[in-house]
Amino acid sequence: MRTCLFPGTFDPITLGHTDVIDRGLDLFDRMVIAIGVNSSKTPMFALEERMAWIREIYKADARVEVASYSGLTIDFCKKLDARFILRGIRSGGDLEYERAIADANRTVAPGIETIFLTPVPQYSSIASTLVRDLYKYGGDVSAFLPAAVLEGIQRLKQ
């Protein structure tokens, strides 16, 4: 079975993320969307909420699992027996950053490959940071988020 890990903070998960996930599902038998827990970061949305949104988005696809982890991504891959890491690349800056991580991971765990996918052009500029800023200051984030996330953040506002 070809298991792939798609790690990130997904704070929140965007249409750019889901575009990469959806196209990655054509390549792998099992996709684990893994929310990394970093004690030095304070996310805007609770871990449980982010996990629930992803589960809702992919509830009809048994190939998709949602998990959280702390520590090294490569160690979590080993724990899951995932031979692939999926990463989305929006720009040249993303590529350089992700390539450096992929090179380090390949050195530590040569049997785990990193696969890069670019989002479709209309989602290539979407970043969770941008979406959080728009949301924080009352901007319209509907063009950037899946319906499950939009519904979730509307409930949070109430």
pLDDT tens sequence across 85-102 = 999 998 888 889 999 999
User: Is 112 marked within a binding site?
Assistant: no
Strand partners, 88: 117
User: pTM higher than 0.85 for the full model?
Assistant: yes
Domains, the chain: 3-157 (3.40.50.620)
| 41 noted as active-site residue | yes
Return phi, psi of residue 131, to 5°.
-65, -45
pLDDT band at 51 (very low <50, low <70, confident <90, very high): very high
59 is in an annotated binding site: no
Catalytic residue among 40, 41, 142, 155: 41
